[in-house]
């Protein structure tokens, strides 16, 4: 079982990785991880500058979002993270940013089609976009309802095969089996969003890649016969 101390370090490191990769401005971003064994979530505190953030500043909550450790307030997006951990029982980490290219697609309320193999390596299909939220959901428990809108967008979809979403008029939420993978997926999503924008600019009629090429790339990394990387390497 992974100790909570180790999870705190991984969550801090994932938050810093988002800054290093240019995905967050100021403190606009947050990463969290979960210990499923203990039913505890570790999340970034609200408004603490990244350069001053230490593992002990992170906030620990239960799966209802109730703080069980920490003196600081949790990221205001905590209820969205909680909704995702409850809605998607296989995920171990969640990342949210307003990274520019992915957010541009979210603001355009357009899913990102799979135009190439880089995308196909990570997402088994287009990156989905949520439905716009009605006023009563925005005026009510907004962050929790944002999570509910994401879970609704995944009806009939597998969140393990599509590790991220564009929240309409807002930005990306990305996840993975660990918070480290979630941060990596967020960096890749930003790159896919950038390439997809250039692709559609260069060719307004650009078509998604064939399902044969898409499946070949996705399944060589993720299928039961995956062969990408070294044997035994964590994918």
- Could you tell me the CA-to-CA distances from 176 to 61, 94, 139 in Å, in that order? 19, 7, 30
* CA 163/CA 165 separation, integer angstroms: 7
Residue 38 structure tokens: 């203990």
Please enumerate, as own/partner, the contacts of 200-209 that have beta carbons within 8 Å and a separation of 24 or more: 206/113, 206/115, 208/113, 208/114, 208/115, 208/126, 209/114, 209/115, 209/116, 209/117, 209/119, 209/120
- Of the residues 37, 50, 101, 228, only one is catalytic, namely 228
Please name which of 172, 138, 194 lies closest in space to residue 24, comparing C-alpha atoms: 172
Do the Cβ atoms of 37 and 1 come closer than 8 Å?
Answer: yes
What φ, ψ does residue 65 adopt, rounded to 5°?
85, 10
- Of the residues 26, 121, 122, 227, only one is catalytic, namely 121
Give every CB contact of residue 19 below 8 A, 6+ residues apart in sequence: 29, 50
β-strand partners of 113: none
26 is catalytic: no
CA dihedral sign, ordered 72, 163, 91, 141 = positive
62 is catalytic: no
Enzyme catalytic residues: 121, 228
């Amino acid at each position: 079982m992974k100790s909570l101390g180790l999870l705190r370090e991984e969550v801090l490191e994932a938050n810093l990785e988002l800054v290093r990769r240019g995905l967050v401005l100021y403190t606009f971003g947050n990463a969290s991880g979960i210990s499923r064994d203990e039913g505890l979530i570790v999340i970034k505190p609200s408004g603490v500058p990244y350069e001053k953030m230490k593992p002990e500043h992170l906030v620990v909550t239960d799966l209802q979002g109730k703080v069980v450790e920490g003196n600081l307030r949790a990221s205001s997006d905590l209820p969205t993270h909680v909704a995702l951990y409850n809605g998607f029982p296989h995920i171990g980490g969640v990342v949210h940013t307003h990274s520019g290219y992915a957010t541009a697609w979210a603001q355009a309320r357009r899913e990102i089609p799979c135009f190439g193999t880089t995308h196909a390596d990570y997402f088994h299909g287009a990156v989905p976009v949520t439905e716009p939220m009605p006023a009563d959901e925005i005026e009510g428990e907004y962050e929790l309802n944002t999570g509910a809108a994401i879970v609704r967008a995944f009806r009939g979809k597998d969140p393990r095969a599509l590790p991220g979403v564009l929240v309409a008029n807002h930005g990306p939420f990305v996840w993975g089996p660990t918070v480290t993978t979630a941060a990596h997926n967020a960096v890749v999503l930003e790159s896919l969003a950038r390439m997809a924008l250039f692709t559609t600019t260069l060719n307004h009629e650009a078509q998604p890649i064939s399902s044969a090429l898409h499946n070949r790339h996705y399944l060589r990394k993720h299928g039961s016969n995956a062969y990408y990387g070294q044997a035994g390497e964590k994918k």
